[in-house]
Structure 1
Amino acid sequence: MPRSCAFCGGRPLSNEHILGQWLRTAFPPEDLVNGIHYRANAATTHQHAQGLLKATVKAVCEPCNNGWMSELESGVKPFLPEMINGGRVFLDSEQQQLLAAWSLKTMLMMAKAHNPPEPIIPATDYTDFYRERRPSAVMVARTGFAAVPENAQIALASDFSCHALAVQDGYGYLATLRLGMFVVQIVRAGPFPGQVLKPFVPTWQLMPLWPVAEPRHWPPTFPIPDQDWASLTTPDEVPLELAPADA
C-alpha cells in the first residue's frame, strides 16, 4: 500500500525540500555546496553529498507541501536569515509563534529524512501539528545562538539531533536544530493528564520561545560555545516542570 502524508494522511506524496530554497541567501556559497554538519566530537563531523539545500524527503502530500507548510516558510522569511547570521532581531508574539511552528515543522521533516529503525517522534505529533499548526501543550522550546568554533576550517551550515527521553507513563524527546548561528531546541514529554510543560527558565545562553511570552530581542547575551554543544544536545538530565493546564 502506498505511504500517506505524515501530517494529513493524503496521497500522493511529493518530494519536500527539508530546508527551503529561499534560505540560500542566508548562507555563504561554500556552505550550500558542502552542507557540513558540525558536532562537538570531531569524529562525527561529516559532509552532505547533496549539499545543504538539496536534501528532500518524501513524506508529505502536495497540498501540505504547497499550502500551510509553504505559508510557514513565508512567515519566517523576513527575520530568520538575519538570525542565521547572528544579527539582532526583535521577536514579537506573532513572530515567536511563527518561528516555533517553523522550527517544529523543520525538525519533523529532518526526523523523517533520518528515518531511524525505531522512530523517536510519534506519528501523533505530526497529526497534532497538522491540526493545530503550532507546538502542543506538551512541548516547550527555547532558542539561542552558537558561537563560531575555534576551528575556523569547519563550516557551520546545519546540525540536527533528536534524542529520546525517559518519561514516566509517556514518551518524550529532545530535538535540537542549528542553522548557522541560530539554535532552537524543543523538548516534548507527556502526556500528563490535566497538566502542561512549563517553559524553561531563561539562562545566559538560551531564552524561551514557546509557549509564547512577551516580545523580546534575540539573541541572548551570551553565545553557546563550541565546547558546550554536546551537553546542550545530549544532556545527562532534562528538568521537566509541570503546571495545571488551565493555569
Structure 2
Amino acid sequence: MPDSCAFCGSIEPLTREHVFGQWVSKIGLDLSPVRHQAGPLNGLPRDMGEQPPYRQTVKKFCAACNNGWMSQLETAAQRVLTPLILGESGAIEPEDQALIAMWAQKTTLTAMLLFSKEQQKAGYGLPQSEYLAFYDGRERMQPLEASRFWVGRYDGTAGFAAVDVTPLTVRIPGVPEPDLPQGYAMTIVLGELIVHGLRFTTPALEVDVAMDLGMPQLWPSRVSVSWPAGQPCTEAAFRRFAAGEMLRSTVEYVELRPWTGATELSRSVVVDGNVKLPALCGKHFLYYPISLAEEAFRGIFNAFTMACECQTAYLIQTESDGAHCKAAGTADWISEMYEDLPGDEVLIRDQVGDFVCKRLPAEAMTVAI
C-alpha cells in the first residue's frame, strides 16, 4: 500500500518539502556546512551528516498540499519572519501573530517526520491526528486549538538552528502519570529568533501558563508585541527551555512536566558501591559513586563527565530525582560544557577508586543560565 500524504491522507505521489522553507537559505544567514542530527529524546540522535543548513527535506506530502496551502503559508511567513530572524527589532502586529504561530506548528509537524518509521513505531514523532486536525483547520490561518506560543531572542552560537519537541503531561499531586502524553512543547530556533509553543492534545486539560523568561505571548494575543522582549534564551539554557521546564502552570496544584516515557532513561541500580546508569546508546552503562546519589537526596548536586564504549561522551548531573544526562557528543565538546559549569571540582575517594566531579552551587539548580 503506498504511503499517504501526512496532512490530507491523499495517496497521490508524494513530493519533498523543506523542513525550513527554501526562502530561509536566501535571506542572508550563514550557509556554512553544519552537522545535522535527529532522534529520540532519551537516545543518541541519528547523525544525518554534515551539510549546508536549511536544506533538509521530507517526502511526506502530496503536490496539492505542498504546492498549495503549505507554499502559501511559507510565502506569507517570509515577510513577517525575515527581519526577526536577522535580529531587527520591531513590533509584531496582531494580524501577523496567528500567522507566525501557524507557521511554527506546521514547521514542527514537518520536522517530526524526519524520524525513521522504526522510531515512529516506537512512539517518537507526533500523532497522525495532529496532522489531520491541522489540515482541517488550514483555512483559518491560525494554529490548532488549545495552543499557546511565545516569541523571543536566541542568544547562542551563530548558525545554530533547531526544531525541538518534548511530550508533556499535566500533573496533579497524588495522581499517577498517564500512559500517554497530554501535550507537547515545541521550540524553533532560526538566526536570532526563537518561537516556543505549547499544544494540549487533551484540550480538557488546558491550563493557563506563564513563561519564566518573560517572553511575550504571541498567541493567543490581541495586542501588538514588541520584539525582542523578555530575557533571551542562551545556549546554556536551551535544553531546559526546549523541554518546557520554563513554562509554569498558574493553576494551584497543577504542574506541567516532561513525559517520563520520552525523556527519562531506565532506572539506575546500585552495583558494588556504584550507581549503574544506562547510557543513551542503549548498549552500555555508566557508573558513578553511590555517595553522589546520597548527596542528591540531601539537596547537594554534582556534575561529571563520562564516556561509554561507543566513545560517546556524556555530561551527567545529579538532581533530587536521580541523575540526568544533559548532553552527549564528542569528548572535547562535553569537556568544554563541563568546564563552563559553575562550582568547585572535588575528588571522591572510596573503595571503588577515585572519581572527579564538580559540586554545583544551589543557585545553579534554580535559575536559568
Provide TM-score, normalisation by structure 1.
Answer: 0.81
> Closer, same or farther in 2 for the Cα pair 1:143/1:159, shift >3 Å?
same
Question: What letter is aligned with 1:34?
Answer: V
Deviation, 1:237, is 7.3
Deviation, 1:89, is 2.7
> Closer, same or farther in 2 for the Cα pair 1:21/1:236, shift >3 Å?
closer
CA distance in 1, matches of 2:202, 2:48: 37
Deviation, 1:201, is 3.1
Note if contact 1:144-1:224 (Cα within 8 Å) is conserved in structure 2.
Answer: yes
**What are structure 2's unaligned runs of at least 5 residues?**
38-43, 171-177, 252-369
Note if contact 1:145-1:181 (Cα within 8 Å) is conserved in structure 2.
Answer: yes
Instruction: State how many pairs are aligned.
Output: 228
Deviation, 1:170, is 6.0
Alignment of 1:96-175 (within 5 A): 96-115=97-116, 116-117=119-120, 118-133=123-138, 134-149=142-157, 155-167=158-170, 171-175=182-186
Deviation, 1:112, is 0.6
Alignment of 1:1-247 (within 5 A): 1-10=1-10, 11-31=12-32, 33-34=33-34, 48-115=49-116, 116-117=119-120, 118-133=123-138, 134-149=142-157, 155-167=158-170, 171-193=182-204, 196-198=206-208, 200-201=209-210, 204-236=213-245, 238-240=247-249
CA distance in 1, matches of 2:168, 2:113: 18
Can you list the C-alpha shifts for 1:99-145, whole angstroms capped at 9, x where unaligned?
A: 11111111110011134331341111111111112322221111111
CA distance in 2, matches of 1:202, 1:235: 9
**Map of 1:40 onto structure 2:** none
Question: What letter is aligned with 2:185?
Answer: L
**Map of 1:152 onto structure 2:** none
CA distance in 1, matches of 2:213, 2:166: 23
Note if contact 2:212-2:246 (Cα within 8 Å) is conserved in structure 1.
Answer: no
Note if contact 2:166-2:186 (Cα within 8 Å) is conserved in structure 1.
Answer: yes
Question: Which protein is bigger by CA-based radius of gyration?
Answer: 2
CA distance in 2, matches of 1:75, 1:35: 29
CA distance in 1, matches of 2:143, 2:250: 17
Deviation, 1:79, is 2.6
Can you list the C-alpha shifts for 1:70-111, whole angstroms capped at 9, x where unaligned?
A: 111111222312111211132111110111111111111001
Note if contact 2:31-2:52 (Cα within 8 Å) is conserved in structure 1.
Answer: no
CA distance in 1, matches of 2:226, 2:151: 11
Can you list the C-alpha shifts for 1:148-198, whole angstroms capped at 9, x where unaligned?
A: 44xxxxx433112111112458621111111111111111224234x7443
SS at match of 1:201: strand
> Closer, same or farther in 2 for the Cα pair 1:237/1:201, shift >3 Å?
closer
> Which structure's relative contact order is higher, taking Cα pairs within 8 Å and 6+ residues apart?
1
Note if contact 1:120-1:163 (Cα within 8 Å) is conserved in structure 2.
Answer: no
Deviation, 1:26, is 2.7
Can you list the C-alpha shifts for 1:196-246, whole angstroms capped at 9, x where unaligned?
A: 443x4355442111113311221114322222212211245743458xxxx
SS at match of 1:178: strand
Note if contact 1:140-1:211 (Cα within 8 Å) is conserved in structure 2.
Answer: yes
CA distance in 2, matches of 1:87, 1:71: 24
| Identity within the alignment, % | 28
SS at match of 2:223: coil
CA distance in 1, matches of 2:181, 2:56: 32
* Runs of 4+ residues deviating >4 angstroms: 202-205, 235-238
> Closer, same or farther in 2 for the Cα pair 1:35/1:148, shift >3 Å?
same
Q: CA RMSD in A?
A: 2.6
CA distance in 2, matches of 1:17, 1:228: 28
CA distance in 2, matches of 1:241, 1:131: 31
